């Protein structure tokens, strides 16, 4: 693109979404001196209703897909913006055919974070302690690990949810490590909840930069931002989720990563909503076939009864 070119980025308006869009804009300007990059704020369905549980807004049958992405995707399709920056965990695995994942930058730590100012760790929380999270996956994993806790749903942006723990309204909250790091709030984290006990959401910690599939100029502009190991890992996770027809609201957790040699590893866990049951499957395969690895793990999970647990989460 020449110096007069403009790239418009569609983004949600939260502090985290704006940080992510600004981060992408800065890297595009660094990679392409003279490129003009503008941010276009777009309100999504999930942003307009900040009080209702996410599953309730979406409807049980939808799996929660698209709550934070559909309006931004519409702006892309209508040529109002050239690209969109998503938290990849919010991006449905099946979207409009005309759109494509133009780049996946280097992934942040995909783990979850416990914020428990008084008790510090999950093990130290007393019986009956109240822990808040808006994620069905996190709720199920917490209940599986500590069935004696009172796990409640919460909504709001990162700062709002964090305040529920720091103010003492709740004993703890669970958020994404990556979001806290991006907002400079690492100091609030009292324990990292990571693999193998706590697996992240599909795509957690990664950004997904979406654009129109036929927009060759924008695809070329995005190329320097693409981090192949991160792309492979999240493609494996997303292929497994798509095969099991799960949305971003179902209690499914996945951890893809490149391992030694030319291999890609994928661990996936599926829970029932109450956390009583957990089904796990893991495979390692060639790194150049992430979708195949995801399908292989999905087949194992299905054979172990994952469909039954996921159906319970949708009803």
Tokens at 298, concatenated: 């999905």
d(CA 150, CA 47): 26
pLDDT at position 213, please?
A: 97
Whether the per-residue pLDDT at 61 is higher than 50: the answer is no
Percent of the chain with pLDDT over 70: 89
Whether the per-residue pLDDT at 45 is higher than 60: the answer is yes
* Residue 27 CB contacts under 8 Å (≥ 6 apart), including other chains: 105, 224, 225
98-107 mean pLDDT: 97
What does the pLDDT look like over 83-102, one tens digit per residue? 999 999 989 998 899 999 99
Which comes out higher in pLDDT, residue 313 or 40? Answer: 40
Whether residue 174 contacts residue 131, with contact meaning beta carbons closer than 8 Å, is answered with: yes
**Distances in Å between the alpha carbon of 47 and those of 44, 134, 142, 171, 253?**
5, 14, 26, 26, 24
202-208 mean pLDDT: 97
26-55 mean pLDDT: 78
pLDDT at position 54, please?
A: 47
Residues of each domain in the chain carrying CATH 3.40.190.10: 6-108+202-314, 112-193
d(CA 252, CA 88): 15
CATH, domain range 112-193: 3.40.190.10
What does the pLDDT look like over 280-293, one tens digit per residue? 999 999 999 999 99
CATH, domain range 6-108+202-314: 3.40.190.10
The per-residue pLDDT of the chain, averaged, comes to: 90
Report, as residue numbers or ranges, the catalytic residues.
Answer: 90
Tokens at 97, concatenated: 């055919």
Q: What angle do CA 67, 156, 115 make, to 5 degrees?
A: 120
d(CA 83, CA 73): 9
pLDDT at position 260, please?
A: 86
16-41 mean pLDDT: 96
Whether residue 214 contacts residue 98, with contact meaning beta carbons closer than 8 Å, is answered with: yes
Among 247, 202, 212, 216, CA closest to 72? 212
pLDDT at position 311, please?
A: 81
**99-103 vs 207-212, strand pairing mode:** antiparallel
What does the pLDDT look like over 215-253, one tens digit per residue? 999 999 999 999 999 999 999 999 999 999 866 568 999
Whether the per-residue pLDDT at 298 is higher than 70: the answer is yes
Residue 2 DSSP label: -
pLDDT at position 314, please?
A: 73
């Amino acid at each position: 693109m020449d110096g007069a070119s403009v790239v418009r980025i569609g983004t949600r308006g939260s502090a985290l979404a704006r940080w992510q869009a600004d981060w992408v804009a800065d890297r595009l300007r660094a990679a392409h001196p003279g490129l003009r990059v503008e941010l276009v704020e777009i309100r999504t369905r999930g942003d307009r209703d900040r009080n209702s549980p996410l599953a309730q807004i979406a409807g049980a049958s939808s799996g929660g897909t698209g709550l934070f992405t559909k309006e931004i995707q519409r702006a892309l399709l209508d040529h109002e913006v050239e690209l969109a920056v998503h938290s990849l965990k919010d991006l449905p695995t099946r979207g409009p055919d005309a759109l494509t994942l133009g780049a996946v930058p280097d992934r942040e730590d995909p783990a979850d974070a416990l914020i428990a100012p008084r008790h510090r760790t999950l093990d130290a929380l007393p019986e009956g302690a109240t822990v808040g999270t808006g994620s069905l996956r996190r709720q199920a994993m917490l209940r599986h690990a500590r069935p004696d806790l009172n796990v409640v749903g919460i909504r709001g942006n990162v700062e709002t949810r964090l305040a529920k723990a720091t103010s003492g309204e709740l004993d703890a909250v669970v958020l994404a490590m990556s979001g806290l790091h991006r907002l400079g709030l690492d100091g609030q984290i009292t324990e990292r909840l990571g693999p193998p006990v706590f697996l992240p959401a599909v795509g957690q910690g990664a950004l997904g930069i979406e654009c129109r599939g036929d927009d060759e100029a924008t695809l070329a502009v995005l190329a320097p931002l693409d981090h192949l190991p991160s792309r492979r890992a999240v493609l494996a996770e997303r292929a497994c989720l798509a095969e099991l027809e799960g949305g971003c609201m179902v209690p499914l957790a996945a951890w893809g990563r490149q391992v030694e040699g030319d291999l890609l590893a994928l661990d996936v866990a599926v829970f029932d909503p109450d956390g009583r049951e957990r089904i796990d499957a893991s495979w390692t395969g060639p790194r150049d076939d992430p979708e195949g690895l995801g399908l292989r793990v999905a087949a194992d999970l299905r054979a172990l009864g994952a469909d039954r647990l996921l159906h319970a989460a949708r009803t």
